[in-house]
Amino acid sequence: MVGVAHRQCRQHEWLAKHQWRLSFSRAEIVLINSWMPVQQIVYHMLRVFMKTEQLTDDGVKSEPIAVSNYNIMTLMLWTCETEPPGWWTRHLNLIRICVELLRTLSVWLTAVRCPHYFINNCNLLDSFCNLEVIASQLMSIDETWLSTWFVNNYIRKCSELCPDNGSRLFSDVSTTMELQKAVSAVVDWRLNTALRDKWCLFDLADFFIPSRVSKLHDLTVRSCVCWMTELSKIDTRLLIYISAIALSACCLQLFKQ
């Protein structure tokens, strides 16, 4: 249970402070971590697209939006369950997969029905006036349009992180060969810097983990779960490191007592 009010009740003086909801966050983390890389990439792409196009709550705050990031995750959970692994890996066309999922989401919005993954007969959608508008937008998306969108709004922005010779290649990507050459330059740059970035992360972890774990009053079951979840995203070997540090801190405290 988490103390979070329904978005339609957040302006209510009493309900906003006293309403609770069921949370399945731990199960969701387990499921997401079990996804294949292609499934995790598609999930990321969908969230970026919906947020950038201001179709989710994180995109626009001034008015109620029908779709939330939780709806996107629910869509992914159901699709991962209903579609076999071959559906995701056949031809490995990320754009095609995203288009199909966006159209499924459009059907859900039209029917005002987003089935909860864990609770039977629970609908995650509310009847907002912009449901049909968003559904129409999503249904009109095809592979050509979405491919162009990701090149202009995502890949091109990634290239801006590269040295000038890499980002300059995106000045003209009018052909498939030019686009492939530009993307390959970004990938090569990322592969060449990945080891250095990993070393920097380990160096930061080596400094922060002992300093935080040594404060035993801050070390709770919930904080440990949070730490281990986040560190596993960097490298699973850090789980062994934080376990060793925590055990050493506990032993030292017992020795002092």
**What is the tens place of the pLDDT at every residue in 231-252?**
777 777 777 777 777 777 777 6
**What is the Cα–Cα distance from 194 to 227, expressed in whole angstroms?**
22
Strand-pairing partners, residue 115, are: 123
* Residue 101: both structure tokens together: 């999922």
**pTM of this prediction exceeds 0.95:** no
> Which of 101, 52, 57 has the alpha carbon at shortest distance from 78?
101
**What is the Cα–Cα distance from 224 to 141, expressed in whole angstroms?**
43
Whether the CB-CB separation of 111 and 147 falls below 8 Å is answered with no
* Residue 109: both structure tokens together: 């919005």
pLDDT at 60 > cutoff 50: no
> Which of 131, 127, 151, 133 has the alpha carbon at shortest distance from 49?
151
Cβ neighbors of 216 (< 8 A, separation 6 or more) are 249, 250, 253
The per-residue pLDDT for range 173-207, each reduced to its tens digit, is 777 787 788 778 778 877 887 777 777 877 777 77
In angstroms, the Cα distances linking 172 to 38, 77, 158, 219 are 28, 38, 15, 53
How many residues does this entry show for the chain? Answer: 257
Mean pLDDT of 27-31: 91
pLDDT band at 59 (very low <50, low <70, confident <90, very high): very low
**What is the Cα–Cα distance from 184 to 158, expressed in whole angstroms?**
12
HSE (CB half, 13 Å, CA atoms) of 210? 7
* Residue 222: both structure tokens together: 């919930």
pLDDT band at 165 (very low <50, low <70, confident <90, very high): low
pLDDT band at 64 (very low <50, low <70, confident <90, very high): low
Mean pLDDT, rounded, of the chain: 81
Q: Check residues 35 and 236 and name the one with the higher pLDDT.
A: 35
Q: Check residues 70 and 234 and name the one with the higher pLDDT.
A: 70
* Residue 76: both structure tokens together: 């992914």
Q: Check residues 228 and 155 and name the one with the higher pLDDT.
A: 155
* Residue 131: both structure tokens together: 């449901």
pLDDT at 62 > cutoff 50: no
pLDDT band at 55 (very low <50, low <70, confident <90, very high): confident
CA dihedral 153, 195, 204, 238 (to 10 degrees): 100
**What is the Cα–Cα distance from 118 to 185, expressed in whole angstroms?**
43
In the DSSP assignment, the letter for residue 57 is: T
pLDDT at 219: 63
pLDDT at 117: 95
